[in-house]
Chains A and B, each alone.
Chain A
């Protein structure tokens, strides 16, 4: 049995007066892929963004309860949010390379964390691009603007960028929703490879994708965690009626 990496304890989240997440409690295992599914507006993205405190920047938002990473509450009073975000990589729904060269994109995280050693940076960039299965496609044009890459390549670049700062957990917010099937397949294969070293939490709209790639699946609805179990159980024999209705496509 794997260790618990991320643990939510009665975690609630508010946007102003709206309670977007209601008393979520769940344990996410190390070196596993955990999929989060649910209809639009169910709070799955909010939950994901709570794990690296990206929701902090939203005016009028408020959190209650705990989320712990390696048994340390990241909503505790003595927490450095910047440090948390460095340890938890994030890949966004819409790939967001910076308008810099491919090299500078991957090196960005190192630069802002004060690493000036050029040869170390170059090594790290190469390794990250290799780990993100992008190295062979870009190794001859690292100085080119990242916008010249295709959509799927851009998303893998963003993954490489996240890997470069050596996170423990990688959060992915529908990373393949804007990609074509071939590019999606590449990302999915990559996720399988990455879970050997990282703990991956992925939000997805695509239930087949969740079934294919995740070890555990959580089903969210209206801000509540309805069901959370091993993926095969959720998709073949869910214990709640509403979960079954959702995965069989009766709504959502």
Chain B
């Protein structure tokens, strides 16, 4: 008996330790960035253009750039990803070809983001003549997030019981009617949540936008979707490693990191709230 209990205690404590290590890493990162970045955050930092070779001023164009690129990413990724997931889960027959397609999609989510970046250069920047621009970068990020969007959306669709579909069909609904009225309303929150989490990740990516549109230093806002732009992750990368006066701009780097984390956090929070509201609405 003693032996059994001892093993149990040992096991619990091991699992607890795993959790603490994970939490500790997160806390250390957040603490480090917040404590060193918070002093830099003020209205000017958030709303002014960078000045004097980015050693002074704010990061406004980077914030605007990141938001715009994320919107383009969403416009490409949400309809395409959800549509693809609906087709795969509801229409496509379960055979070898769809299994291969599904496996390929899963594998695509493991492709390093720099590969997507180079792909974006070839397809969007050069082949489609979009140049280094917000569009090219947004499309590249959109492609990168598709595997997540599709996989998350498919999982959400799988969670809808088959009896909803059959019940609708048995009443004379067409397949599309059963999907529209009896499947999508109960899966949309899961689909959107997964998608937004994917977008939040995309917003923090550097490699895919590096060659497709992000600019080193632009002290003005992008004029159109075919302009180059500054973005938070890339700005952070420059401030941390590429600037000629790294020590001097270190606080700006920390401030940028804090803003970036906050943007990603807000997007995740939005996903959670959206899911909560849609669930509540659906269960009324």
Binding site for B on A (CB under 8 A): 52, 54, 57, 59, 82-83, 85-87, 89-90, 92, 94, 96, 98-99, 108-109, 111-113, 145, 158, 161-162, 165
Starting from the known contacts A59-B95, A85-B170, 13 additional A-B residue pairs (CB-CB under 8 Å) come to A54-B166, A85-B171, A86-B172, A92-B163, A92-B167, A96-B166, A98-B164, A99-B164, A109-B171, A112-B171, A158-B167, A161-B171, A162-B170
- A59 CA / B163 CA spacing, docked (Å): 17
Contact present for A112 and B161 (CB under 8 Å): no
Interface residue tally on B, bucketed by range: 20 to 34
The digit string for B153-177, where 1 denotes a CB below 8 A from any CB of A, is 0000000010110111111111001
Contact present for B283 and A145 (CB under 8 Å): yes
Contact present for A83 and B170 (CB under 8 Å): no
- A83 CA / B163 CA spacing, docked (Å): 20
Residues in A whose Cβ lies below 8 Å from that of B34? none
Select B166's contact among A87, A89, A92, A145, beta carbons within 8 Å: A92
Contact present for B174 and A54 (CB under 8 Å): no
| Minimum CB distance partner of B163 in chain A | A96
Contact present for A112 and B177 (CB under 8 Å): yes
| Minimum CB distance partner of A52 in chain B | B170
Decide if the interface of chain B is mainly helix, strand, loop or mixed. Answer: helix
9 examples of A-B residue contacts, CB within 8 angstroms:
A52-B170, A54-B166, A96-B164, A109-B171, A112-B168, A112-B171, A112-B172, A145-B284, A162-B170
Contact present for B174 and A82 (CB under 8 Å): yes
Q: Does B248 contact A (CB under 8 A)?
A: no
Residues in A whose Cβ lies below 8 Å from that of B282? 99
CB distance from B283 to the nearest CB of A (A): 7
Q: Does B124 contact A (CB under 8 A)?
A: no
Contact present for A112 and B181 (CB under 8 Å): yes
Contact flag A85-B167 (CB < 8 Å), given A59-B94, A145-B284: no
Q: Does B229 contact A (CB under 8 A)?
A: no
Contact present for A98 and B171 (CB under 8 Å): no
Contact present for A99 and B283 (CB under 8 Å): yes
Contact present for A99 and B172 (CB under 8 Å): no
- A112 CA / B284 CA spacing, docked (Å): 21
Residues in B whose Cβ lies below 8 Å from that of A162? 170-171
Q: Does B51 contact A (CB under 8 A)?
A: no
Contact flag A98-B182 (CB < 8 Å), given A59-B94, A86-B171, A165-B172: yes
